[in-house]
Amino acid sequence: VSEIGKAPLQQALQVTVPYFLDWNGEVYQPTRIQILDIHVPQFDLKFIADFGVRMLVAANFTFQVFRVPEPLELTLPVVLLADARVAQGSIRTPVVSISACFPLFSSAVVFEGSGSVAPGLLVPVQKHIEAVLRNKLCLSLSNLVQGLNVHLGTLIGLNPVGPESQIRYSMINAPNITKDYISLDIDAILLLLGKPIVLPVEATHFVLPAHVGADGTMVTVGLSQDLFDSALLLLQKAGALNLDITGLLKSENNLLNTSMLGQLIPEVARQFPEPMPVALKVRLGTTPVATLRTNNATIQLQPFVEVQAVASNSAFQSLFSFDVV
């Protein structure tokens, strides 16, 4: 998870450094400072029980100081420590907030080839950069978290599953946070044509199994039997599981034709003396049944199949139909 977060974090840390005012003995000379690169070699996350997450970010900032007569490049190592509280928001979504943030700075390192640098310049430049980063880094991190909250907030809206179906999420309880993991109890409601699919009243309460042999696992997702049943019902009603099987209608190599079928059913050969393409329309008239067991899951389908042939006028003619049990 932390590896995935490095890219947006590096982008968030790309702040603007205002001009450094250097006193030359008579007037203040403005000197432009620009961040050339940010490298994050370390990004660690640690759970805090009943609170949230502790973050440790080690970043190397490369700056260019546009001094006269030649620019100066230097690297400033920074360690950013932050605590983020994870709670349940008023609209039943996870909410993350930065409760504490502390940047720690090491000594700047001047790149070789930048020429000699007087300590009288390097020290005030580093102090100027540190003062800017001390104010802006934690603010940027907080803004990044707020963007995450906006994304989490959109999850509770209707998310399309198909042309006529949607799914809506909400968090039932406050997050359960231990030193090893964070658990979110999410309620998923499936809707078809704007109407929710109602679960049976006698549905049993779903409990996530104990974490057995899950060392090194980043995410464990538990899906209830009722969710499977609702999803299959939604897919069946929306026609998402229906299937049309056709051969290449104008291909001589098409084996899905009346000639091949007529070898098994003589009446087909009598009606179609010339080979004509055949199409199979597979429809699910009943809801699929999912059965979940330890290390095993099966889905029982009972499709209705209609066999059609292309007539001389290019229209499909129904030959016969059958149920698959």
CB 204 within 8 Å of CB 178: no
Question: Which residue, 28, 29, 15, is CA-closest to 131?
Answer: 15
CB 11 within 8 Å of CB 137: no
The whole-angstrom separation of Cα 269 and Cα 273 is 6
* List of the chain residues with pLDDT < 50: 213
So what's the pLDDT on residue 67? 77
322-to-11, 262, 292, 312, 318 alpha-carbon distances in Å = 59, 17, 28, 24, 12
| Rg of the chain (C-alpha set) | 32
The packing angle between helices 2-12 and 119-154, to 10°, is 120
DSSP 87: E
Q: Does domain 2-154 have CATH number 3.15.10.10?
A: yes
The size of the chain, in residues, is 325
Helix spans in the chain (H): 2-12, 119-154, 225-238, 258-262, 266-271
So what's the pLDDT on residue 13? 94
Give residue-wise pLDDT tens across range 281-299.
999 988 888 888 878 888 8
The whole-angstrom separation of Cα 304 and Cα 284 is 6
Give residue-wise pLDDT tens across range 57-79.
999 999 998 876 778 889 999 99
Q: Which residues contact 17 (CB under 8 A, 6 or more apart)?
A: 33, 34, 35, 63, 128, 129, 132
For the chain, the domains span 2-154, 158-209, 241-325
So what's the pLDDT on residue 171? 87
Buried b (16+ CB within 10 A) or exposed e, 158-197: eeebeeebbbebebeeebebeeeeeeebeeebbbbeeeeb
**Is the N-terminal amide bond of 69 cis, ω within 30° of 0?**
yes
Question: Which residue, 7, 1, 2, 16, is CA-closest to 137?
Answer: 16
Q: What is the β-pairing status of strands 94-105 and 109-110?
A: unpaired
So what's the pLDDT on residue 202? 60
